[in-house]
Structure 1
Amino acid sequence: MPHPHLWPRLTVPVVALLLGALVAAPTRADAGAPEAEPTDYTLTVHPDRTGPAISDSMYGVFYEDINHAADGGLYAELVQNRSFEYDRADNPAYSPMTAWTETAVAGGTGRAETVDDGGRLGERNRRYLRLSLDGAGEGGAGFGVTNSGYNQGLTLRKGARYDFSVWARTDRDTGTALTVGATTADGTSLATPLRITARGDRWKKYTGTLTARASAADGRLTVTAGGSGTVRLDMVSLFPRDTYKGRANGLRKDLAEKTAALRPGFLRFPGGCLVNTGSHQAYEAPGWERKRSYQWKETIGPVEQRPVNANFWGYNQTYGLGYYEYFQFAEDIGAMALPVVPALVTGCGQNKATDDPALLRRHIQDTLDLIEFANGPVDSTWGAKRAAMGHPAPFGLTHLEVGNEENLPDEFFARFTEFREAVEAEHPGITLISNSGPDDSGATFDRAWQLNREAGVAMVDEHYYNSPQWFLENNGRYDAYDRQGPKVFLGEYASLDNRFSNALAEAAYMTGLERNADIVRLASYAPLLADTNDAQWRPDMIWFDNETSWGSANYEVQKLFMNNVGDRVVPSTASTTPATTAPITGAVGLSTWATGAAYDDVEVTAADGTALFRDDFSGGDTRWTKAAGRGTWAVEDGAYVQSDENAENTLVTAGDTGWQNYDLRVRATKTSGKEGFLVAFGVKDTGNTYWWNLGGWANTRSAVEKTVDGAKQTMIEDTTTIETGRAYDVHVQVRGRQVTLFLDGKRWGGFSDDKPAEPFRQVVTRDDATGDLVVKVVNAQAADARTRIDLGVRPGSRTARLTTLQAAPDAANTADDRAVAPRRSTLRVDGPVFTHTFPAHSVTFLRVKG
């Protein structure tokens, strides 16, 4: 997953697509009605021509523990902080007692404290709970702790069974009675309490089952101890019996089932940014580093022996969901397992290459051991560990990725080469996947691809998150890729929101992926899961809370494509939509990002030299519009200064949104902070603008970024950095849709923003099993598309099956409203040529018998 800085404020809604053929989004009530006159198109299928074969694993899913996707999400454990390992070092809001409170029953008293000493459960599970009991009260008195679970509480369902376990030890010779109960937040009992007697002063696992007699979303789990003396508890756990496939230590059923319903060809895991950020040292006690990159050996074996880790995304992960469980999940859903291992070059905004030969050798050996864990026989070292966990048969690993979004291509590739040589020497059947950095273009991307091509790498992972317009404009991205070069794994992509307009743009783009199936061998929307109560990233495919889950509009598009892939592309052609090219228009702006900066002598002139705007700030800043809470702007010493170097996106604007064909000049000086400065043009509003980001990304590069309804795309970039205290003369020239940029009087670069955003896209595939032609059409505009379809061959049946997704562009699925859902119908097809009208704002799959 890319570093959040690359796409600031991703939660800004991405609304209707800004295309010439599109108009204002309709309301839900009129979503099914055409908003403009129907447009005539033609679609011609060429069954006599041969298109590329489509891999069985073409579409898959990318899983990363972001948005609390694992603990409190896919991993079915209901108890939060079950091993008391939370710590302020991981998150300032954490403590070892996070999610726990002391509880007294019937007058029981005592003291609860977390301890890390020689009495711990294990070196990797160091902290435990010590209950010092006073023996006060009568009979059923007890003292202990209550866990509140994730978010509002533990969700329990009437009649369901829940498996409880705890590791305990006691210094009381006669044993210590433990009472385990489930209640609502107000104390109402939800199940008959479970009675357990802990015996002996050595750690032992105790188990039992609770059956809920009522449903609740605010459940609590309470464990109390009676009598006197000291009892120690660790790994307090409660699992629903009804996990996916009924597995112990298993997965939340509804989330796993929604993933399985996609019929993914592969499962990429475990991330993302958490793979290659943090320390690359392994867990070593004592003195272990809490923030480590994800390392597979820490995540296998008995659950109580696995350490916790401080997740890159700001919370803890228990590793209860580890590499064994990932392999098992991939097998359960019929997907190819595709693990990602760290390359020892950090990514996601952290540009650092580890220069430790011994550490590199250890990680390479870990990777070789991973392959043995997945594929080795039961008498091999790591194959034996897999077998001991319950899977003697090999998992059949075929693909493995090294690294994720490294922004130092040469450093990354030097290390990748060492991984590659070692893997090819011992496991020549494994396809090793490289990557091309965090963006769809730019200096890092170009250099990474050059290195990959020259070395003959088998497959390269590309990642990009862009605006819906970018996806509509770039349907032909892979048409020109070298057919003899590395194949593409599109490991992460999305259009930055979960509205139907986003899903439409992605669907249109996917027709281009399938058309180029000989180049794009694997593709996965990202990320997969998000807890609606605690998400670090949007968009996401499947949203959930404690009680329910739902697929986004994007999920419905992905599911439609993934369930109807076909085995080979059948070439087809279609007419296009007449395009109108209006000039770039908009006001101007100044901004900063984690930087202090000073601006002076702002001047805007028309192409003929006529002055449109001048400001030397001698009269204050009254001509500039500021957004509340966006930085600290003030006129100081005759310059306009933004002084809060912690503030992000501090855009102030001036001028007329109707300006076109103009020159913007400004003198800009970085005064402090991590970045450079930003000069904006073509400003419609804060969500629709261009800006020249000079010294961005921790002052490692510069780029012009275009924002459409809050979603960004990069137009041009290079490696320019900005010096603190130096004044720069910035000049932006706008002519029609051509932009030319000058820095200190020298041409820095330029671009033409004139790609057509074609809203009508198609691809046709053949399903070998059924003989069907699958005609896939996206109509991402506000007009119906009346289309003459020529199949080139007489269909085998007069009835074709249609599946249609249609909704208002701003429609979004929620827990209570599935606004975007497939509609199935039939179509009379009397011959090879017929007419069908594809509704406005729709994705239609037409299955015709061959």
Structure 2
Amino acid sequence: MKLFSISFLCATFSAALQISVESSGGNSSIFQYGLMLEDLNYGGEGGLYAELIQNRAFQGSSFYPRSLVAWTPINGSVLSLQNLSQPLSSALPTSMNVATGIGNGIVGFANSGYWGIDVKAQKYTGSFYVKGSYTGAFTVSLQSNLTNEAFASTQINSNSTPNQWVQHEFTLTPEKDAPNVNNTFAITFESSDVQGGSLDFNLISLFPPTWNNRPNGLRPDLVQALSDLKPKFLRFPGGSDIEGLVQGQEWKWNETIGPLKDRPGRPNCWGYEETGGLGLIELLLLTVDLDLDPILAVEDGHWLNNEVASQADLESHINSTLDQLEFITGATSTPYGALRASLGYSSPWKIKYIEIGNEDNIYGGLPSYISYRFQAYYDSIGSKYPDITVMASTVELVLPAKAVGDYHQYSNPDGLVGQFNYFDQNGTKNTALNGEIAAKFANGLTWGDTAQIFPWWIGAVSEAVFYLGMERNGDKIIGSAYAPLFQNMNSWSWSPDLLQFTADPGDTVRSTSWHVIQLFASYEITHTLPQTESFGPLYYVSGLNQNTGTHIFKAAVYNSTGDYPVSVTFDGVEKGTSATLTYLVANDPYAYNAAGQPEVVQTKNSQIIASEDGEFAFTLPNLSVAVLETGH
């Protein structure tokens, strides 16, 4: 590829760059800004998935053994894990035994949540399963871990029996907000009313209000941050997480649907066990709630330990994908469409794109991907679902004419700017998705070096330059998504990430990169237009939004030593026409947003009136990202 030299761009400019934008020519643009979602950095469990109880069903594996993490005894009770001969379900074989201990009185257990529990004056809904002989009442409460103050408490008469698991449901409504998230959820009971000295508990769950009030739903502040980006697609559920650490641990769609007691969970590839609660239907409902096109990524017989399925063994993986597509899109007269309907979703979803695997160019996957795996999926899906576009997880193979490639780019700021013209120089007959992008390293650093913890301003500007390069090629680039999305500041393994959060919604941070995407996504170019081209240190794209009838000019200034004067003329736009200029800037190239700190991204707005010949003249600071839009 052709790379720009960054060093020669440093200069101070006094004469404005004259940019003339033609009124015809160019190309229709299919480019959209979207989202890429997988569960890492506790971004699903403990994050987007609104469940407040950590380790609710004592799930585990050989990678992440079952434990009592997040659970503590109350008043001398003794907690232990048990695999009973009569488990709650085959999916959830392990439960917590709570022995009453040596004395009488109130005993029980508490859960600390995912590094705290946010308690507000709002309604919480919960449930738990219990097995054993108990004739009293259970008390459930939300209380301070520091002062033991109870913010909400309710009693539930026991229906527990020694012969079967019985679910108990409840609601809690605190009368006031807790001052912090250092709170616990507790279940207590009278030990003298327990026959046999212990009770068994499993699937202990507590939810706050969720986005759109959906059961088993999503955390509102995090979904709001996604919605405010104005995204158009969601690529899910991965990412590396769909592949699995070893064979058998890939993301299995049919183990993430139905009642929670029938979801076994799995070890993900990012250091923790997934409950399966954030499953296929929950993710599809997110696409409905945010009006997103789903890009469904499926496992393809490739694991992160460099194993791949043989040609003979690949058929079962393909059949699972076909079953999943029938579940999502099939009529209720089909077996899997009927299964979907039985779960309460008679209307099918529509799938436009399906991606085969994730980054099959690494972990030993490329030879088999080229020789048989991708083509086998492509042929099988195409024969049954000809309207679904099949996407490869890499661009490092020759694709069928109708297939789409997926290009991922993590780099340093100079590296991203240097790829501004990547899609100019590497045009093919196939369209492509930029499924993952981020400025990950400081300039001069790369893989193997320390990554940035947070998105930072110069990195965000370099991402803007790369986005502009894709928008210029909007006829062949489907869209782009920053990755990863979420970073739980209590436990994370990958950085930087688009959004940072803790258990406290007040700590949710919209990063510098978030602001750049939000600006560009707010001004959609549906048709690019030919323009004067002289790039560096100003990078730009021009076009029309044919839905609003406006002209749009998007730009970023990278590596100029002074303010950069710009003159833009749109053919056919007359003197006196008004345009709005919006640009983002920060005081420091290394500035980043963090919880409890002032917003570092400054938004500047001004109205500009076209002078003679329809010229819009303005000046942009170094390291700024801008959009100019003419009046409707």
Q: TM-score, normalised by structure 2?
A: 0.90
- The residue correspondences of 1:114-133 to structure 2 (distance < 5 A) are 114-133=81-100
Please point out which of 585, 606, 631 is paired with 1:825.
606
**Residue 100 of structure 1 pairs with residue 71 of structure 2:** yes
Q: State the distance in 2 between where 1:765 and 1:544 align.
A: 36
**SS at 2:199 equivalent:** strand
**Residue 848 of structure 1 pairs with residue 630 of structure 2:** yes
- Give the paired residue count: 597
1:794 equivalent in structure 2? 573
Please point out which of 191, 197, 208 is paired with 2:170.
208
Shift of 1:394: 1.0
Q: State the distance in 2 between where 1:278 and 1:385 align.
A: 29
**Residue 164 of structure 1 pairs with residue 91 of structure 2:** no
Amino acid in the other structure paired with 1:492: E
1:458 equivalent in structure 2? 403
1:809 equivalent in structure 2? 589
Shift of 1:761: 0.4
Alpha-carbon spacing, 1:797–1:367, altered in 2? closer, same or farther (3 Å): farther
**Identity of matched residues, %:** 27
Q: State the distance in 1 between where 2:310 and 2:97 align.
A: 43
Alpha-carbon spacing, 1:39–1:299, altered in 2? closer, same or farther (3 Å): farther
1:568 equivalent in structure 2? 527
**Residue 526 of structure 1 pairs with residue 483 of structure 2:** yes
Shift of 1:317: 1.0
Amino acid in the other structure paired with 1:149: G
Q: State the distance in 2 between where 1:155 and 1:385 align.
A: 36
Please point out which of 221, 225, 247 is paired with 2:189.
225
Shift of 1:495: 1.1
Alpha-carbon spacing, 1:308–1:759, altered in 2? closer, same or farther (3 Å): same
2:239 equivalent in structure 1? 272
Residue pair 1:399, 1:432 contacting (<8 A) in 2 also: yes
Residue pair 1:62, 1:527 contacting (<8 A) in 2 also: yes
**Residue 178 of structure 1 pairs with residue 138 of structure 2:** yes
1:335 equivalent in structure 2? 292
Residue pair 2:575, 2:609 contacting (<8 A) in 1 also: no
Shift of 1:538: 1.1
Shift of 1:38: 4.4
**SS at 2:181 equivalent:** strand
Q: State the distance in 1 between where 2:33 and 2:405 align.
A: 16
1:559 equivalent in structure 2? 518
Residue pair 1:41, 1:574 contacting (<8 A) in 2 also: no
1:839 equivalent in structure 2? 621
Deviation per CA, 1:358-394, whole angstroms, max 9, x where unpaired? Answer: 4x21111111111111111123221122223332111
**SS at 1:367 equivalent:** helix
1:663 equivalent in structure 2? none
Alpha-carbon spacing, 1:156–1:761, altered in 2? closer, same or farther (3 Å): same
Amino acid in the other structure paired with 2:631: K
Gaps of 5+ in 1: 1-16, 23-35, 282-291, 437-444, 577-757
Shift of 1:19: 4.2
Residue pair 1:86, 1:97 contacting (<8 A) in 2 also: no
**SS at 2:524 equivalent:** coil
Deviation per CA, 1:473-525, whole angstroms, max 9, x where unpaired? Answer: 12111113345x21111111111141110010111111110110122112211
1:263 equivalent in structure 2? 230
**Residue 352 of structure 1 pairs with residue 307 of structure 2:** yes
1:309 equivalent in structure 2? 266
Alpha-carbon spacing, 1:294–1:69, altered in 2? closer, same or farther (3 Å): same
2:443 equivalent in structure 1? none
Amino acid in the other structure paired with 2:78: R
**Residue 783 of structure 1 pairs with residue 562 of structure 2:** yes
Higher share of residues assigned helix:
2
Please point out which of 471, 479, 494 is paired with 2:416.
471
- The residue correspondences of 1:614-633 to structure 2 (distance < 5 A) are none
> Cα RMSD (Å) of the superposition?
2.1
1:394 equivalent in structure 2? 348
2:444 equivalent in structure 1? none
Shift of 1:209: 0.8
Deviation per CA, 1:266-300, whole angstroms, max 9, x where unpaired? Answer: 1001111111132343xxxxxxxxxx111111111
Gaps of 5+ in 2: 441-451
Q: State the distance in 2 between where 1:572 and 1:766 align.
A: 12
- The residue correspondences of 1:599-638 to structure 2 (distance < 5 A) are none
Residue pair 1:166, 1:205 contacting (<8 A) in 2 also: yes
Residue pair 2:256, 2:265 contacting (<8 A) in 1 also: no
2:34 equivalent in structure 1? 60
**Residue 492 of structure 1 pairs with residue 436 of structure 2:** yes
Please point out which of 345, 363, 383 is paired with 1:425.
383
**Residue 111 of structure 1 pairs with residue 78 of structure 2:** yes
Deviation per CA, 1:818-838, whole angstroms, max 9, x where unpaired? Answer: 111433332232341232111
**SS at 1:493 equivalent:** strand
**SS at 1:566 equivalent:** coil
Deviation per CA, 1:714-752, whole angstroms, max 9, x where unpaired? Answer: xxxxxxxxxxxxxxxxxxxxxxxxxxxxxxxxxxxxxxx
Deviation per CA, 1:309-342, whole angstroms, max 9, x where unpaired? Answer: 1110111111100011111101110111111111
Shift of 1:567: 1.0
2:156 equivalent in structure 1? 195
2:449 equivalent in structure 1? none
**SS at 1:788 equivalent:** strand
Q: State the distance in 2 between where 1:467 and 1:431 align.
A: 32
2:445 equivalent in structure 1? none
Amino acid in the other structure paired with 1:66: L
**SS at 1:163 equivalent:** strand
**SS at 2:592 equivalent:** coil
Shift of 1:457: 4.9
Q: State the distance in 2 between where 1:814 and 1:40 align.
A: 38
Amino acid in the other structure paired with 2:433: F
Alpha-carbon spacing, 1:228–1:834, altered in 2? closer, same or farther (3 Å): closer
1:707 equivalent in structure 2? none
**SS at 2:40 equivalent:** coil
* Of 184-193 and 392-401, the range deviating more from structure 2: 184-193
Runs (4+) of structure 1 moved beyond 6 Å? none
Q: State the distance in 2 between where 1:135 and 1:268 align.
A: 54
* Of 191-200 and 160-169, the range deviating more from structure 2: 191-200
Q: State the distance in 2 between where 1:129 and 1:493 align.
A: 42
Deviation per CA, 1:149-171, whole angstroms, max 9, x where unpaired? Answer: 112x11112x1111121112223
Shift of 1:59: 1.7
* Of 833-842 and 259-268, the range deviating more from structure 2: 833-842
Q: State the distance in 1 between where 2:324 and 2:38 align.
A: 19
**SS at 2:519 equivalent:** helix
Deviation per CA, 1:522-572, whole angstroms, max 9, x where unpaired? Answer: 221111111122111111111111113121101111111112122111221
Q: State the distance in 2 between where 1:117 and 1:493 align.
A: 47
Q: State the distance in 1 between where 2:514 and 2:391 align.
A: 26
Q: State the distance in 1 between where 2:214 and 2:357 align.
A: 31
Higher relative contact order (CA 8 A, sep 6+): 2
**SS at 2:296 equivalent:** strand
**SS at 2:212 equivalent:** helix
Q: State the distance in 2 between where 1:535 and 1:559 align.
A: 24
Q: TM-score, normalised by structure 1?
A: 0.68
Alpha-carbon spacing, 1:797–1:81, altered in 2? closer, same or farther (3 Å): farther
Shift of 1:800: 1.3
Residue pair 1:43, 1:572 contacting (<8 A) in 2 also: no
Q: State the distance in 2 between where 1:39 and 1:378 align.
A: 67
Higher share of residues assigned strand:
1
2:212 equivalent in structure 1? 245
Shift of 1:148: 0.6
Q: Is the radius of gyration larger for structure 1 or structure 2?
A: 1
Please point out which of 51, 65, 70 is paired with 2:26.
51
Q: State the distance in 2 between where 1:822 and 1:322 align.
A: 37
**SS at 1:538 equivalent:** coil
2:204 equivalent in structure 1? 236
Residue pair 2:137, 2:156 contacting (<8 A) in 1 also: yes
